[in-house]
Amino acid sequence: MGGMWRLRLRVMRVSDTIRLRPHPSLLSRGLIAAIAFLGPVFLVLYYLTAPEGPWLFIVYLQVAASLLIGIAVSRYFGTAIWVDANGISERGFFRRKTRFDASQVGSVVFVITLYSSLPQGAPQLFICGHEGHQLVRMRGRFWPLAAMDTVMNTLNAPLVRLPQPMTSKEIHGQYPGIGYWFERRPVLAVLLFVVSSVIGGAISILVAELVGPLPGD
């Protein structure tokens, strides 16, 4: 009898957990963009390589691109946030599932963020630890406003609604613990991108020199 009672409690706790999904339009927009870009590219490559060129290599490339798209679709369906009164869990697109207990949540910050490409702004929700560092982030570009409302209403944590829209720079100035490192240090991020691009270009040139000219050149 006691075992059945414990099992019933466990089922109730699982059923109380709410699973939140990102915008459904993200998948359709991503697939349309991939097809619109890759379709013409592969058509041109097949036209240039058939019938006597290395068309088989292009087939391998297309298969690899299709596999990558399949992996991306699978990752999209795996992306979710789970929330209940006991805490919040997140599985991002590139990350494993992480869990934060309610005792680890210090505050929940809601703000309308202004972007140059989106003058009217987009909502953002930050679930922060007791020292102000970011635990989970929900951006309006990826998560519906209703999902943010669910998190705010479910987590028993102090809620901060910033009354005025703010730029990313203003948000990071007021809350230095939230956001990604490249958002807080944009100059360093650009510098690292330039350096990595130069290194990648140098490696490509070196490989081309080692391989030598293609047959027929």
- Provide mean pLDDT across the span 18-47: 86
**Is it the case that residue 1 has pLDDT exceeding 70?**
no
Which residues face 127 on adjacent strands?
108, 136
83-93 in b/e form (b: 16+ CB < 10 A) is bbeebbbbebe
Burial (Cβ within 10 Å: 0-12, 13-18, ≥19) of residue 144: middle
CA angle 133, 136, 142 (to 5 degrees): 135
* Residue ranges of domains in the chain: 23-78, 98-177
Look at the domain 98-177 and name its fold. Answer: Nucleotidyltransferase; domain 5 (3.30.420)
Return the number of other C-beta atoms located less than 10 Å from residue 23's C-beta: 14
Residue 72 has phi, psi (to 5 degrees) of -65, -40
Identify whether the C-beta of residue 136 lies closer than 8 Å to the C-beta of residue 100.
yes
Q: What is the DSSP letter of 165?
A: -
Q: What is the DSSP letter of 102?
A: G
Residue matched to tokens 């990595």: 196
Q: pLDDT tens digits, residue range 120-176? A: 788 999 999 998 889 999 998 899 999 999 999 999 899 999 988 988 888 888 888
- Provide mean pLDDT across the span 48-55: 75
**Is it the case that residue 101 has pLDDT exceeding 90?**
yes
Residue matched to tokens 């130069």: 198
The pLDDT value recorded for residue 12 is: 34
